[in-house]
Amino acid sequence: MKSEKGFSLVELLVVVIIIAIVAAIAIPNLLASRRAANEASAISTLRTIHSAEAVYQATTGNSTSYAAGSGLTGLVDTVLAADSFSKSGYDFTVGTGSAGATYCAEAHPTDAGTTGVRSFAVGVDGVINFDPADAAACADGVVTTGNPLGGS
């Protein structure tokens, strides 16, 4: 009598079902972690832009004017030195108000709900504002909507 070795079809199905259950539990947590990481990156990028704007205003701007994103060349890396760019699942826009007296930078998820949930904006005061409905916005170099991050 010859001995057959291997797994039966039932045993293989049990293993596949167990793997599917583990994946169903792990994938949503992985996606939530990625969204949180993208949002943290967006906040950090806005802080970097604010710092560069403060340096520009104190030096090149003669304490009176700010620069749009492309005016920050040399103060930030080449990706951030643009009027608009995409980074880590967020689309960024940097602009100045009339005569460069103010500036505002905003970040919106590239794919709302997937790459991020909240939008963010920062202005001259350095307070990062967020909006859970992807509506944090700027107008004429001033943050117009949103709630202070970390505030109520």
The reply to whether 88 falls in a domain is yes
Neighbouring residues of 37: CB distance < 8 A, sequence distance ≥ 6: 88
The reply to whether 109 falls in a domain is yes
pLDDT mean over 131-141: 84
Instruction: Reply yes or no on whether the pLDDT at 2 is more than 80.
Output: no
Instruction: Reply yes or no on whether the pLDDT at 53 is more than 90.
Output: yes
Number of structural domains in the chain: 1
Q: Given pLDDT bands bounded at 50, 70 and 90, which one contains residue 41?
A: very high
The reply to whether 62 falls in a domain is yes
Q: Is the model more confident about 99 or about 17?
A: 17
pLDDT mean over 127-134: 88
In the prediction, which pLDDT does 139 show?
Answer: 86
pLDDT mean over 100-114: 92
pLDDT mean over 16-24: 93
pLDDT mean over 119-141: 89
- Find out whether 92 and 138 touch, Cβ atoms under 8 Å: no
Per-residue pLDDT reduced to its tens digit, 54-96 = 999 999 888 888 988 788 888 999 889 899 999 999 999 999 9
In the prediction, which pLDDT does 151 show?
Answer: 59
DSSP one-letter string for the chain: -PPP-S--HHHHHHHHHHHHHHHHHHHHHHHHHHHHHHHHHHHHHHHHHHHHHHHHHHTTTTTT----GGGGBTTB-TTTSSSEEEETTEEEEEEE-GGGS-EEEEEEETTBTTTBS-EEEEETT-PEEEETTS---EETTEE-S-EETT--
**What gap in Å lies between CA 21 and CA 100, rounded to an integer?**
56
Rg (CA), the chain: 23
> Which residues constitute the domain of residue 114?
9-148
- Find out whether 146 and 121 touch, Cβ atoms under 8 Å: yes
pLDDT mean over 10-33: 92
The reply to whether 113 falls in a domain is yes
In the prediction, which pLDDT does 1 show?
Answer: 56
pTM, two decimals, is: 0.82
